Structure 1
Amino acid sequence: MAEGLRERKKRQVRQRISDMATALFLEHGFEAVTIAAVAEVADVSVNTVYNYFPAKEDLLFDREEEVVERASRLVRERGEGVSAVRAVLDRMRRDVAERNPYAGMDPGYARFLRIIQESPTLMARVLRMQGRMVDRLAATLREETGAAPEDPTPEFIAHQVIGMQNAVDRSIGRCHTAGSTPEETSAEVLRQIDVMESLLSDGVLNYAVKNTP
């Protein structure tokens, strides 16, 4: 369904507020910035900010649902003969090799990480997001495989996959902080992905291979 004018305007206002807030957080830190300050720079009322973002941390994590859903979507959309874990690994490699900003390959990602690490509120939100990612992926794996409710395998695999994603994110951040060039960061993180894959058992790597209908 095509996006209507009203929906498009609401999306644009929401994005502008989030962008303005992120710029303030980068300059002053998350804790120092008030909702009133965000409303002022975005030229909207405080109530409007809260209508779009019920919690202050929502301003920075405006794509949370997309992030939480991503691993599950990659698993659901994997091709025939591809396992769940390899679907995610392949996408991680491609994002890093192509230096995709979405994957944190933009050098500015280090500043974004620093904002989060300096704020207990944001760190708590990240942990909650990671938990949601595991829960969502475990549910997807259980659905894809038809695993019984008492089977712990889907949740175990989900923890492995999200753990790898977290490790890659941290490695990218460390490379940026160390002043590595995009090319150096890409090469180093790809090497680390290879190491992670080598440590996984065949049972994990070949879990939930998609069969021909």
Structure 2
Amino acid sequence: MGELTDRRARKKAQTREHVRTVARQLFDEHGFDAVTIADIARQADVAVQTVFNHFPTKEDLFFDGRTPWVSGPADAVRHRQPADCPLSALTDYLSQFVRNRIRALREADLRAYVRTLDASPSLRVHERELVFESERLLADSLREAWTDADRSDPGPTPHDPSTAAAITAAMWLSAVRALMVRHRPLVTAGADAAQIAADLGTFADRLLRGLADSAEQLRTGTAPPPGVEPVGSLRAG
């Protein structure tokens, strides 16, 4: 029984990979919006329902295996070293992510992926939904880090962890996304990926550390306007 189960699992995995490979070839050749699930099923020689059994939507099929960045920022905070400040760990992760992602555009398959993505309104909408999910995950991990009773890192403690976490996640990921979306077409058009990656990585690092410094200044006593309690402001924990 165990051997039969393993064989079925392998066959299912092989079918999934075959469908995904065929779909990506069609997307690269014809564009995402011009290809239907029926086209994919016919080219892969499987039933339409088989495609849906593995991928609920065409967008899920396109992005499958390509979005480690959705959980990456939250994981960087959650799995940081005990004495590391959450914002420092997040800055290190995001700066390196920018470098690696832009540098990887030297690979033909990733350039094709970005060209297909940028050419499709529906994919860009889905990408934004994934960004929102990444923000939610990051906000959760920051709130957990800032409310951990056993935290040993030296970073600022928010007065309102939930609000501060949501604002931080939105600001930091929006900044990184703006850098990526602005510059990835330049690389797919032939610009030097290595040089752009180095420049953007350095800029992202300075920008995010500046945001972290602002949070530290709030912690050390920057006064709000008279009568105003800053939502999500930081104070010494």
Q: Determine which structure has more spread, i.e. the larger CA radius of gyration.
A: 2
Q: 1:142 matched to which residue of 2?
A: 143
Q: What is the TM-score of this pair, normalised by structure 2?
A: 0.71
Q: What is the TM-score of this pair, normalised by structure 1?
A: 0.78
Q: 1:210 matched to which residue of 2?
A: none
1:158–1:198 Cα change, 3 Å: closer
Residue 59 of structure 2 corresponds to residue 57 of structure 1: yes
Residue pair 1:142, 1:154 contacting (<8 A) in 2 also: yes
Superposition RMSD in Å? 3.1
Aligned-pair CA distance for 1:56: 1.2
Alignment of 1:122-201 (within 5 A): 122-146=123-147, 151-201=162-212
Q: Which stretch shifts more, 183-192 or 104-113? A: 104-113
Work out the CA distance in 1 between the residues paired with 2:198 and 2:51. Answer: 41
Greater relative contact order structure (CA < 8 Å, 6+ sep):
1
Q: What amino acid does structure 1 have at the position aligned with 2:128?
A: L
Tell me the matched-pair count. Answer: 203
Q: SS of the residue aligned with 2:82? A: coil
Residue pair 1:86, 1:205 contacting (<8 A) in 2 also: no
Q: SS of the residue aligned with 2:63? A: coil
Q: Which stretch shifts more, 165-174 or 41-50? A: 165-174
Alignment of 1:38-117 (within 5 A): 38-63=40-65, 66-95=68-97, 99=100, 104-108=104-108, 109-117=110-118
Work out the CA distance in 2 between the residues paired with 1:202 and 1:123. Answer: 32
Q: What amino acid does structure 2 have at the position aligned with 1:136?
A: L
Residue pair 1:25, 1:115 contacting (<8 A) in 2 also: yes
Work out the CA distance in 1 between the residues paired with 2:194 and 2:213. Answer: 31
Deviations 1:6-56 (A, max 9, x none): 444433322322222112111100111111221123232111001111111
Gaps of 5+ in 2: 148-157, 220-237
